[in-house]
Amino acid sequence: MVELGNSRLALRDPSGAERWTRTADGIQDVVWMANDELLVLGAGIGVLDVETGSFVRRQCGWDFKLTADPTPDAHAAAYLCSRE
């Protein structure tokens, strides 16, 4: 089970015991993928290591190259991609 709230993201086992917790760092939503990856969404997108909660990969902001000008949430993308 994944919990997102109070600027924190936590993974708990089926008994409710915490496996790890981390700061949300701009993460606004979490999706379990069919291949057991933990996808996180904010102003960017990333995949977390299910065992540690660390980013495996992420892509944000200008890497998408969809606009030549900053978007209103560009600050959030920079935060999600600059944090570990």
The per-residue pLDDT string of the chain (84 residues; one tens digit each, 9 = 90 and over) reads: 999 999 899 999 999 999 999 998 888 899 999 988 999 988 778 899 999 999 998 887 655 555 666 666 655 555 566 655
CA 55 – CA 31 distance, rounded (Å)? 14
Encoded tokens for 20: 């790890």
Instruction: Report if residue 65 sits inside a domain.
Output: yes
What pLDDT does residue 67 have? Answer: 61
What pLDDT does residue 65 have? Answer: 58
Q: Report pTM.
A: 0.75
What is the number of structural domains in the chain? Answer: 1
Range of the domain at 45: 26-82
Which DSSP category does 10 fall into?
E
Instruction: Report if residue 72 sits inside a domain.
Output: yes
Instruction: Report if residue 47 sits inside a domain.
Output: yes
What pLDDT does residue 79 have? Answer: 59
Instruction: Report if residue 15 sits inside a domain.
Output: no
Q: Angle at CA 34, nearest 5°, toward 28 and 40?
A: 15
What pLDDT does residue 12 have? Answer: 95
Kindly list the distances between the CA atom of residue 14 and the CA atoms of 11, 35, 77, in Å, as whole numbers in the listed order: 10, 19, 32
Instruction: Report if residue 45 sits inside a domain.
Output: yes
Contacts of 68 (CB under 8 A, 6+ apart): none
